[in-house]
Amino acid sequence: MFLIVAKYLIPKGYRGMAVFPFVVVKYGFDKTNGTFVNHEKIHLRQQLEMLILPFFIWYFLEYLIRLIQYKNKDLAYRNISFEREAYSNEADHNYLKNRSFFQFLKYITLK
């Protein structure tokens, strides 16, 4: 994983993004935010297990489905299965050590 600070690469309203093998953050102080970095590392693992390109296709299609479902871009983003997994486990710094393959599938259905 390579951590890069690049303020102008991050879309407005976001603080960072993961594009294997990089984690790009908007602000330098986020490089030391363990929970934030762990969230992005979860995305890197998701990308790896889906062979990167299919991850982004799935991510975009699921976002569109959630946008139709919720009619709200923030709710749509928060309910993408990849994001739900990352947000649910970002504070557990051992999560990736014990995570099984394709765990995001548990987050597809809403409860």
What is the pLDDT, as a whole number, of residue 111?
57
Rounded to an integer, the average pLDDT of 90-94 is 98
| pLDDT band of 86, cuts 50, 70, 90 | very high
45-74: pLDDT as tens digits: 999 999 999 999 999 999 999 999 999 999
CB 76 within 8 A of CB 66: yes
66-76: pLDDT as tens digits: 999 999 999 99
> pLDDT averaged over the chain?
96
Measured CA to CA, the distance from residue 13 to residue 89 in angstroms comes to: 21
Q: How many residues does the chain have?
A: 111
pTM (whole model) above 0.75: yes
Write the DSSP string, 24-57: EESSGGGGG-HHHHHHHHHHHHHHHHTTSHHHHH
18-39: pLDDT as tens digits: 999 999 999 999 999 999 999 9
Measured CA to CA, the distance from residue 54 to residue 96 in angstroms comes to: 21
